[in-house]
Protein backbone atom coordinates (compact mmCIF):
# COMPACT_ATOMS: atom_id res chain seq x y z
CA UNK A 1 0.00 0.00 0.00
CA UNK A 2 1.25 3.48 -0.76
CA UNK A 3 -0.05 6.42 1.24
CA UNK A 4 0.18 9.84 -0.33
CA UNK A 5 1.75 12.44 1.91
CA UNK A 6 3.15 15.94 1.28
CA UNK A 7 6.40 14.85 2.94
CA UNK A 8 6.84 11.11 2.46
CA UNK A 9 10.43 11.17 3.65
CA UNK A 10 9.45 12.52 7.02
CA UNK A 11 6.02 10.99 7.66
CA UNK A 12 4.03 8.14 6.14
CA UNK A 13 1.08 7.92 8.46
CA UNK A 14 -2.18 8.52 6.69
CA UNK A 15 -3.48 10.61 9.56
CA UNK A 16 -0.94 13.30 8.63
CA UNK A 17 -2.38 13.75 5.15
CA UNK A 18 -4.21 17.01 4.43
CA UNK A 19 -6.38 17.43 1.33
CA UNK A 20 -5.28 19.71 -1.47
CA UNK A 21 -7.10 23.03 -1.94
CA UNK A 22 -10.64 22.26 -3.14
CA UNK A 23 -10.64 24.81 -5.93
CA UNK A 24 -8.77 22.39 -8.17
CA UNK A 25 -9.93 19.12 -6.65
CA UNK A 26 -13.64 19.85 -6.92
CA UNK A 27 -13.39 20.98 -10.53
CA UNK A 28 -11.14 18.08 -11.47
CA UNK A 29 -8.60 20.53 -12.93
CA UNK A 30 -4.90 19.87 -13.16
CA UNK A 31 -2.97 21.17 -10.20
CA UNK A 32 -0.65 23.99 -11.27
CA UNK A 33 2.94 22.82 -11.49
CA UNK A 34 4.18 25.08 -8.74
CA UNK A 35 6.18 22.45 -6.89
CA UNK A 36 9.02 22.54 -9.38
CA UNK A 37 11.49 19.74 -9.98
CA UNK A 38 11.75 17.00 -7.42
CA UNK A 39 14.36 17.77 -4.75
CA UNK A 40 17.21 15.34 -4.06
CA UNK A 41 15.75 12.38 -2.21
CA UNK A 42 17.02 11.69 1.31
CA UNK A 43 15.07 8.70 2.52
CA UNK A 44 14.87 7.54 6.09
CA UNK A 45 16.75 4.26 6.42
CA UNK A 46 17.03 3.33 10.09
CA UNK A 47 13.31 3.28 10.92
CA UNK A 48 12.31 1.15 7.88
CA UNK A 49 15.10 -1.32 8.71
CA UNK A 50 14.07 -1.56 12.37
CA UNK A 51 10.42 -2.04 11.46
CA UNK A 52 11.35 -4.70 8.91
CA UNK A 53 13.37 -6.61 11.53
CA UNK A 54 10.55 -6.26 14.07
CA UNK A 55 8.07 -7.57 11.50
CA UNK A 56 10.38 -10.48 10.67
CA UNK A 57 10.56 -11.45 14.34
CA UNK A 58 6.81 -11.02 14.75
CA UNK A 59 6.13 -13.31 11.77
CA UNK A 60 8.70 -15.82 13.03
CA UNK A 61 7.03 -15.92 16.42
CA UNK A 62 3.52 -16.57 15.11
CA UNK A 63 4.89 -19.26 12.77
CA UNK A 64 6.83 -20.95 15.56
CA UNK A 65 3.69 -20.99 17.75
CA UNK A 66 1.65 -22.51 14.90
CA UNK A 67 -0.24 -19.22 14.43
CA UNK A 68 -1.53 -19.19 18.01
CA UNK A 69 0.91 -16.65 19.48
CA UNK A 70 -1.08 -15.97 22.64
CA UNK A 71 -1.09 -19.54 23.97
CA UNK A 72 2.58 -19.80 25.11
CA UNK A 73 2.28 -16.49 26.93
CA UNK A 74 -0.74 -17.62 28.93
CA UNK A 75 1.51 -19.89 31.03
CA UNK A 76 4.03 -17.09 31.40
CA UNK A 77 1.41 -14.67 32.69
CA UNK A 78 -0.30 -17.25 34.91
CA UNK A 79 2.67 -18.85 36.69
CA UNK A 80 5.83 -17.47 35.11
CA UNK A 81 6.54 -20.71 33.21
CA UNK A 82 8.73 -19.92 30.19
CA UNK A 83 8.91 -23.53 29.00
CA UNK A 84 6.20 -23.18 26.28
CA UNK A 85 8.02 -20.16 24.85
CA UNK A 86 11.36 -22.00 24.78
CA UNK A 87 9.71 -25.05 23.24
CA UNK A 88 8.14 -23.00 20.48
CA UNK A 89 11.49 -21.45 19.64
CA UNK A 90 13.44 -24.71 19.80
CA UNK A 91 11.01 -27.21 18.26
CA UNK A 92 9.13 -25.24 15.61
CA UNK A 93 11.75 -22.72 14.52
CA UNK A 94 11.90 -24.14 10.98
CA UNK A 95 8.19 -23.55 10.57
CA UNK A 96 8.64 -19.99 11.82
CA UNK A 97 11.51 -19.33 9.41
CA UNK A 98 9.62 -20.78 6.44
CA UNK A 99 6.53 -18.71 7.17
CA UNK A 100 8.59 -15.56 7.67
CA UNK A 101 10.57 -15.94 4.45
CA UNK A 102 7.49 -16.70 2.36
CA UNK A 103 5.30 -13.94 3.76
CA UNK A 104 7.99 -11.26 3.75
CA UNK A 105 8.90 -12.23 0.18
CA UNK A 106 5.29 -11.57 -0.83
CA UNK A 107 5.04 -8.28 1.07
CA UNK A 108 8.47 -7.02 0.05
CA UNK A 109 7.81 -7.78 -3.62
CA UNK A 110 4.49 -5.94 -3.35
CA UNK A 111 6.11 -2.86 -1.86
CA UNK A 112 9.05 -2.97 -4.26
CA UNK A 113 6.54 -2.94 -7.11
CA UNK A 114 5.28 0.39 -5.81
CA UNK A 115 8.77 1.68 -5.06
CA UNK A 116 10.25 0.82 -8.46
CA UNK A 117 7.25 2.45 -10.16
CA UNK A 118 7.94 5.67 -8.23
CA UNK A 119 11.57 5.53 -9.34
CA UNK A 120 10.55 5.03 -12.98
CA UNK A 121 8.23 8.04 -12.83
CA UNK A 122 10.61 10.04 -10.61
CA UNK A 123 8.05 10.53 -7.86
CA UNK A 124 9.63 11.09 -4.42
CA UNK A 125 8.75 8.20 -2.13
CA UNK A 126 9.95 6.60 1.09
CA UNK A 127 11.26 3.12 1.64
CA UNK A 128 8.59 0.63 2.80
CA UNK A 129 7.53 0.89 6.42
CA UNK A 130 6.51 -2.57 7.60
CA UNK A 131 3.94 -2.88 10.38
CA UNK A 132 4.63 -5.63 12.96
CA UNK A 133 1.75 -7.10 14.91
CA UNK A 134 3.31 -9.32 17.60
CA UNK A 135 1.47 -11.41 20.20
CA UNK A 136 -1.96 -10.11 19.13
CA UNK A 137 -2.58 -11.54 15.69
CA UNK A 138 -2.15 -14.98 14.11
CA UNK A 139 -0.57 -13.42 11.01
CA UNK A 140 2.17 -11.29 12.61
CA UNK A 141 1.88 -8.16 10.47
CA UNK A 142 -0.49 -5.61 9.00
CA UNK A 143 1.54 -5.27 5.82
CA UNK A 144 3.52 -2.17 4.91
CA UNK A 145 3.10 1.36 3.59
CA UNK A 146 5.11 3.65 1.35
CA UNK A 147 4.87 7.43 1.61
CA UNK A 148 4.52 9.26 -1.70
CA UNK A 149 4.30 12.93 -2.70
CA UNK A 150 0.68 13.33 -3.79
CA UNK A 151 1.24 16.53 -5.78
CA UNK A 152 3.88 15.16 -8.16
CA UNK A 153 2.10 12.16 -9.70
CA UNK A 154 -0.34 12.67 -12.56
CA UNK A 155 -3.25 10.37 -13.34
CA UNK A 156 -1.28 7.90 -15.46
CA UNK A 157 1.67 7.80 -13.07
CA UNK A 158 -0.62 7.19 -10.09
CA UNK A 159 -2.25 4.29 -11.92
CA UNK A 160 1.13 2.68 -12.64
CA UNK A 161 2.26 3.10 -9.04
CA UNK A 162 -1.01 1.76 -7.63
CA UNK A 163 -1.23 -1.33 -9.85
CA UNK A 164 2.45 -2.30 -9.69
CA UNK A 165 2.38 -3.46 -6.07
CA UNK A 166 -0.54 -5.91 -6.18
CA UNK A 167 0.56 -7.45 -9.48
CA UNK A 168 4.14 -7.90 -8.23
CA UNK A 169 2.97 -9.39 -4.94
CA UNK A 170 0.67 -11.88 -6.67
CA UNK A 171 3.60 -13.16 -8.74
CA UNK A 172 5.12 -14.45 -5.49
CA UNK A 173 1.93 -15.21 -3.54
CA UNK A 174 0.44 -17.59 -6.11
CA UNK A 175 3.42 -20.02 -6.29
CA UNK A 176 3.70 -20.01 -2.48
CA UNK A 177 -0.02 -20.70 -2.22
CA UNK A 178 0.24 -23.51 -4.78
CA UNK A 179 2.82 -25.25 -2.60
CA UNK A 180 0.73 -24.64 0.52
CA UNK A 181 -2.50 -26.03 -0.92
CA UNK A 182 -0.72 -29.08 -2.33
CA UNK A 183 0.61 -29.85 1.18
CA UNK A 184 -2.71 -29.52 2.99
CA UNK A 185 -4.09 -32.59 4.72
CA UNK A 186 -7.65 -31.98 5.87
CA UNK A 187 -8.13 -35.60 6.94
CA UNK A 188 -6.42 -34.83 10.25
CA UNK A 189 -8.80 -33.94 13.11
CA UNK A 190 -9.43 -30.17 13.23
CA UNK A 191 -8.22 -28.49 16.40
CA UNK A 192 -7.11 -25.08 17.58
CA UNK A 193 -8.71 -21.77 18.53
CA UNK A 194 -9.85 -20.81 15.02
CA UNK A 195 -10.25 -21.95 11.43
CA UNK A 196 -9.66 -20.08 8.18
CA UNK A 197 -12.34 -19.59 5.57
CA UNK A 198 -11.16 -19.97 1.97
CA UNK A 199 -11.60 -17.23 -0.63
CA UNK A 200 -12.62 -18.01 -4.19
CA UNK A 201 -9.04 -18.00 -5.47
CA UNK A 202 -7.96 -20.68 -3.00
CA UNK A 203 -11.14 -22.70 -3.54
CA UNK A 204 -10.49 -22.87 -7.28
CA UNK A 205 -6.89 -23.90 -6.62
CA UNK A 206 -7.99 -26.54 -4.10
CA UNK A 207 -10.56 -27.86 -6.60
CA UNK A 208 -7.71 -28.32 -9.06
CA UNK A 209 -5.16 -29.84 -6.65
CA UNK A 210 -7.74 -31.56 -4.44
CA UNK A 211 -5.67 -32.08 -1.27
CA UNK A 212 -6.68 -35.00 1.01
CA UNK A 213 -9.97 -34.39 2.80
CA UNK A 214 -10.89 -31.27 0.87
CA UNK A 215 -14.54 -30.61 0.00
CA UNK A 216 -16.41 -27.51 -1.11
CA UNK A 217 -17.07 -25.32 1.91
CA UNK A 218 -14.14 -26.73 3.88
CA UNK A 219 -12.48 -24.65 6.56
CA UNK A 220 -8.82 -25.06 7.45
CA UNK A 221 -8.34 -25.45 11.20
CA UNK A 222 -5.31 -24.14 13.05
CA UNK A 223 -3.91 -27.65 13.47
CA UNK A 224 -4.13 -28.27 9.70
CA UNK A 225 -2.13 -25.23 8.61
CA UNK A 226 1.31 -25.35 7.02
CA UNK A 227 3.64 -22.33 6.64
CA UNK A 228 3.32 -22.10 2.85
CA UNK A 229 -0.47 -22.16 2.94
CA UNK A 230 -0.64 -19.61 5.75
CA UNK A 231 1.81 -17.26 4.03
CA UNK A 232 -0.11 -17.52 0.76
CA UNK A 233 -3.46 -17.03 2.52
CA UNK A 234 -2.16 -13.92 4.29
CA UNK A 235 -0.56 -12.67 1.07
CA UNK A 236 -3.88 -12.93 -0.75
CA UNK A 237 -5.68 -11.30 2.17
CA UNK A 238 -3.37 -8.27 2.24
CA UNK A 239 -3.47 -7.97 -1.56
CA UNK A 240 -7.26 -8.13 -1.55
CA UNK A 241 -7.60 -5.56 1.21
CA UNK A 242 -5.22 -3.21 -0.59
CA UNK A 243 -7.26 -3.54 -3.78
CA UNK A 244 -10.53 -2.41 -2.19
CA UNK A 245 -11.48 0.76 -4.16
CA UNK A 246 -11.40 3.04 -1.15
CA UNK A 247 -9.40 6.10 -0.13
CA UNK A 248 -5.62 5.83 -0.60
CA UNK A 249 -5.45 2.06 -0.77
CA UNK A 250 -4.05 0.67 -4.01
CA UNK A 251 -7.58 0.01 -5.22
CA UNK A 252 -8.51 3.56 -4.26
CA UNK A 253 -5.70 4.91 -6.45
CA UNK A 254 -6.86 2.78 -9.37
CA UNK A 255 -10.53 3.68 -8.90
CA UNK A 256 -9.69 7.40 -8.80
CA UNK A 257 -7.68 7.20 -12.02
CA UNK A 258 -10.58 5.33 -13.68
CA UNK A 259 -13.55 7.32 -12.38
CA UNK A 260 -12.16 10.62 -11.12
CA UNK A 261 -14.30 12.33 -8.48
CA UNK A 262 -17.04 9.71 -8.97
CA UNK A 263 -14.72 7.27 -7.18
CA UNK A 264 -15.63 9.04 -3.93
CA UNK A 265 -19.19 7.70 -4.24
CA UNK A 266 -17.86 4.20 -4.92
CA UNK A 267 -15.65 4.52 -1.85
CA UNK A 268 -18.59 5.52 0.35
CA UNK A 269 -20.72 2.69 -1.01
CA UNK A 270 -18.01 0.12 -0.25
CA UNK A 271 -17.33 1.40 3.28
CA UNK A 272 -20.93 1.69 4.38
CA UNK A 273 -21.76 -1.58 2.63
CA UNK A 274 -19.02 -3.24 4.69
CA UNK A 275 -20.44 -1.75 7.88
CA UNK A 276 -23.94 -2.96 6.99
CA UNK A 277 -22.56 -6.43 6.27
CA UNK A 278 -20.77 -6.60 9.63
CA UNK A 279 -23.91 -5.54 11.52
CA UNK A 280 -26.20 -7.91 9.60
CA UNK A 281 -23.95 -10.97 9.90
CA UNK A 282 -22.19 -10.10 13.17
CA UNK A 283 -18.87 -10.72 11.44
CA UNK A 284 -16.76 -8.07 13.17
CA UNK A 285 -13.37 -9.33 12.00
CA UNK A 286 -13.32 -6.44 9.50
CA UNK A 287 -13.82 -3.70 12.08
CA UNK A 288 -10.11 -2.85 12.32
CA UNK A 289 -9.87 -2.39 8.56
CA UNK A 290 -12.92 -0.11 8.51
CA UNK A 291 -11.46 1.93 11.37
CA UNK A 292 -8.19 2.38 9.47
CA UNK A 293 -10.07 3.57 6.38
CA UNK A 294 -11.91 6.18 8.44
CA UNK A 295 -8.59 7.33 9.92
CA UNK A 296 -6.96 7.90 6.52
CA UNK A 297 -10.16 9.35 5.06
CA UNK A 298 -12.62 7.99 2.52
CA UNK A 299 -11.94 10.57 -0.20
CA UNK A 300 -8.96 10.40 -2.54
CA UNK A 301 -6.84 13.53 -3.14
CA UNK A 302 -6.43 14.84 -6.71
CA UNK A 303 -3.42 14.06 -8.84
CA UNK A 304 -1.11 16.64 -10.39
CA UNK A 305 -3.08 16.31 -13.64
CA UNK A 306 -6.39 14.44 -13.69
CA UNK A 307 -6.93 15.08 -17.40
CA UNK A 308 -4.16 12.88 -18.83
CA UNK A 309 -5.78 9.87 -20.57
CA UNK A 310 -4.95 6.42 -19.25
CA UNK A 311 -5.11 4.71 -22.62
CA UNK A 312 -6.93 1.51 -23.51
CA UNK A 313 -4.46 -0.95 -21.97
CA UNK A 314 -4.37 0.74 -18.57
CA UNK A 315 -8.14 1.22 -18.56
CA UNK A 316 -8.85 -2.46 -19.26
CA UNK A 317 -6.23 -3.56 -16.73
CA UNK A 318 -7.74 -1.20 -14.17
CA UNK A 319 -11.26 -2.56 -14.56
CA UNK A 320 -10.01 -6.15 -14.38
CA UNK A 321 -7.96 -5.40 -11.26
CA UNK A 322 -11.04 -4.21 -9.36
CA UNK A 323 -12.29 -7.81 -9.13
CA UNK A 324 -9.11 -8.97 -7.37
CA UNK A 325 -10.65 -8.60 -3.87
CA UNK A 326 -13.40 -11.07 -4.80
CA UNK A 327 -10.78 -13.81 -5.22
CA UNK A 328 -8.47 -12.86 -2.35
CA UNK A 329 -10.45 -13.01 0.88
CA UNK A 330 -13.52 -14.77 2.20
CA UNK A 331 -16.41 -12.93 3.88
CA UNK A 332 -16.04 -14.84 7.17
CA UNK A 333 -12.23 -14.61 7.13
CA UNK A 334 -11.58 -16.31 10.49
CA UNK A 335 -14.05 -18.56 12.31
CA UNK A 336 -13.26 -18.72 16.01
CA UNK A 337 -13.80 -21.95 17.93
CA UNK A 338 -14.88 -21.48 21.53
Query: What string of pLDDT tens digits covers the 338 residues of the chain?
Result: 766 554 444 443 333 334 444 444 444 444 444 445 555 567 789 999 999 999 999 999 999 888 887 776 666 667 766 777 777 777 788 999 999 999 999 999 999 999 999 999 999 999 999 999 877 788 999 999 998 876 789 999 999 999 999 999 999 999 999 999 999 999 998 988 889 999 999 999 999 999 999 988 889 999 999 999 999 999 999 999 999 999 889 999 999 999 998 998 999 999 888 888 888 888 777 787 788 888 878 888 889 999 999 999 999 999 999 999 999 988 788 888 64
Residue 134 has φ and ψ, to the nearest 5°, of -80, 150
Whole-number Cα distances in Å, 252 to 70, 161, 255, 256: 34, 12, 5, 6
pLDDT at 10: 40
Phi, psi of 303 (to 5 degrees): -90, 180
| pLDDT of 73 | 67
Q: What is the pTM of this model?
A: 0.84
> What's residue 13's pLDDT?
36
**Cβ 172 vs Cβ 109: under 8 Å:** yes
Residue 338 CB burial class (10 angstroms; 0-12, 13-18, ≥19): exposed
pLDDT given at position 35 = 47
- Give the Cα separation of 149 and 95 in Å (integer): 39
Nearest-angstrom CA–CA distance, 95 and 52: 19
pLDDT at 200: 94
Q: What is the pLDDT of residue 77?
A: 67
Q: How far apart are CA 277 and CA 271, in angstroms?
A: 10
Question: For 44-77, b where at least 16 C-beta lie within 10 A, e where not — what string?
Answer: beeebeebbebbbebbbbbbbbbbbbeebeeeee
Taking CB atoms within 8 Å and a gap of at least 24, the contacts of 89-96 are: 89/64, 92/63, 92/64, 92/65, 92/66, 93/60, 93/64, 95/63, 95/64, 95/66, 95/227, 96/59, 96/60, 96/61, 96/62, 96/63, 96/64, 96/227
**Residue 172: count of CB within 10 angstroms of its CB:** 20
Amino acid sequence: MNIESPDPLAETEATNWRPAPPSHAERGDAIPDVVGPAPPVRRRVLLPVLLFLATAFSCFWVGATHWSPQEPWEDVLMDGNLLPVRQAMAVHWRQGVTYTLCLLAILLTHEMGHFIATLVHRIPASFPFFIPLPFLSPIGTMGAVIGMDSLRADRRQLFDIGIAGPLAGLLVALPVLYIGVSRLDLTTPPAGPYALDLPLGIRYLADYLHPPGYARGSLVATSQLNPYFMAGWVGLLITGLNMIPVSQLDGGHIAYTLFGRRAHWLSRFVVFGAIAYMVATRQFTWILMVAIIFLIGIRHPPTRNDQIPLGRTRTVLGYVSLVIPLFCFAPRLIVFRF
